[in-house]
Structure 1
Amino acid sequence: MASFRRHITAAERRARLGHRHLLAATSRVKTPEGVTNALIGLHATDPATVFLSAAARLAEPDVAMVERALYEERTLARIRCMRGTMFVVPAPLAPAVQSATGKDTYRDRAAAIERLGNAVGWDERRYTAAEQEAVAALAARGELTAAELAAAVPALAEQITVYPGKSYESRQRVCSTVLGALAAEGRIRRARPAGNWTSAQFRWAPADPLPQVPVAEARATLARHYLAAFGPVTEADLKWWTGWTLTDTRKAIAAGGAEAVDLDEGTGYLMPDDTEPVDEPLPWVALLPGLDPTPMGWRDRHWYLDPDLVPALFDRNGNIGPTVWANGRIVGAWAQRPDGRINHGLLTDPGGEARAAIEAETARLTDFLAGTRITPSYRTPLERRLAQ
């Protein structure tokens, strides 16, 4: 006899999203650690996303609170992990996340040596000497910017051409290549930015090596956390989100103890203790930043995003811009104008109650920004229009 599998509708998935992703006002939490624990990690390619994603889910958003977690208490860790992308993750989970998704760090170093060999004639001996001097300078002097490190270690000030022949060809110090490889190895870490919380220019500091977690164990751990935060999900969702192969994805789902359920698009997975129906939250709205983990959390997005809206909300590389949400669906976008005002544009009508709530949430975001200007790293068509 075939076993019964519960069917989870798109409406229930949207209800789960409101609760699990802390977007319903009644689900907001008090600390950035609470936000990050709920979502596994916050996208950090654009530094402002970390703060804006947290602010959308905090009962009382505060820049200083997020900075303390990142740079003083270090309860949050900024690492390169899923799909080679920068994330801020809970520090206790960082070893498993890095083991589950990180590339072989030797390959990063070997690629860096090859790159600098081709660009400026460095061999492994010269590269090793430069990285040792960089690590020693940080150990002796603490946090330093890349420019300060290049001044302390003259070899790091050599210039190379990146993307030669492209319209975006530029010159940069070899320092960037060396520091990137050292960070991938976990020997150094990004510390406070050189500017305010929106700055992408970070200081560098010595790092404590992360404990090693067996890869299979780490993948099972990450799969369990992902299913708890984003479930129900498909194999394709988890494969895309992590960057794993399909074989590794299936092994992690099985090792994590997931239970199969039926979705509109086929088989999905949940943790065994998470299969009961979820109540619909009270009506809610949210203004989320570009690259927020919620819209970037699934490969198949039709249950919360009308496919016809994709061209306006994503750039050509698949990066989503700032979005406006109402009751589990993306209904528009928002942007900051040159005078600092928040402007939003709706692509579908969410109703009068939601429109009023969006105005209130816009005021809440304005208060959080307190005059700070932000421009997403990845500009999308609608965001550009709204920012004018």
Structure 2
Amino acid sequence: MLTTAIPTSDIDPYTDESILAPYDDYRALRDLGPVVRLDQYDVFAVARYREVFEALHDHESFISGEGVGITEQLNKAQHGSSLTSDPPYHDLVRGMVARHLTPKALREFHTHIQDWADRLVDELIERGEFDAVTDFGQAFPLALVPDLLGWPVDEGRERLLAWAAAGFNAFGPLNARTQAGFPLLQEMGQFLHRMSIPGNLRPDTWGAQLVADAQNGKIANELLPALLGDFLAPSMDTSVSALSSLLWLFGAKPAQWDLLRSDPSLIPGAFNEIVRRESPLRGFTRLLVKDRVLGDTQLEAGARVMLLYGSANRDERHWDAPETFDITRANAAEHLGFGHGIHGCVGQALSRLEGHSLLASLTKKVRRIEVGEPTWRLHNTIRGIESLPVTLRAA
């Protein structure tokens, strides 16, 4: 039965408490209904799987071109990227970024990445205790992505993670976390503008090809900084989150680790289950531009709608035993941890390649993953571990 009476809630998903332990709040929102108005922000939260999936696949009603954050002031400053655009412009610019990040395009890097993963695992076994985030999760993106993009060897690399974190924080409210990132965003913008000048990126790299496209008239020069930024964000924070969660989940569930070691063919499904269980992206918003029924709820054009990926991936209406980490889960590939539809994370194939390569190396070389207690990260948009002590016991 269609309803126009939308439940309201005083839940604030951006408090420190909710960020550090979000799942009770997500469950409460799911139980209230398919759409819930959040009083604090005058947005409509969508926390159930079916409705999140449906909205992600209706980009004509739920548009991204007016921003995907919760703060309209910040949304107006986020135009130009493939994430914050709509067709037909979206199709053009996403294609220019995604051509380098498809599974087919990445095949030539498989051996290089697997060799790198093997070396990293050997080094960490030898080291003894290390940190899952700085020594494992961050190591791979920082070693690989700058070279693929063509960043100068002596500029910008040490700032990439801080810039990416500030960019993702700006999709949240205008809170202290967001405001602390403003100097970093200005710094990143200046760097990306410099990298948009022909000759400043190393030749024959992904970024240099994008600059050449602008020189050849395929895209406008003023769009280059945002498009170079499209390579940065999806290649950094989401990957770091997924890789760090990988060690935590298998360390906390040794029976699942034994199962994966006994059958490495489960690696792709295991990585999907990692992303489902601890979704790197909490969610983004969309602007509804036409009256629309979502679930049993009538929404009016002009509504700002928050799609909670992390909640959808724990929805009891879609998943059996959603709190359980199960690498044999038959439908794990249905997760929304990287988004879905035309705005699905452009860098997810690279994240999968990184994750699969590291899992392949770990299953060969590591008998047991021992972990301490994780410290969770305070971030508006990224669900991730801040620090986690780990020891790898050799097979």
Task: Sort the TM-score into its range (normalised by shorter chain).
Answer: under 0.3
**Higher RCO (C-alpha 8 Å, min separation 6):** 2
> What TM-score, normalized to structure 1?
0.23
Bigger-Rg structure (1/2):
1
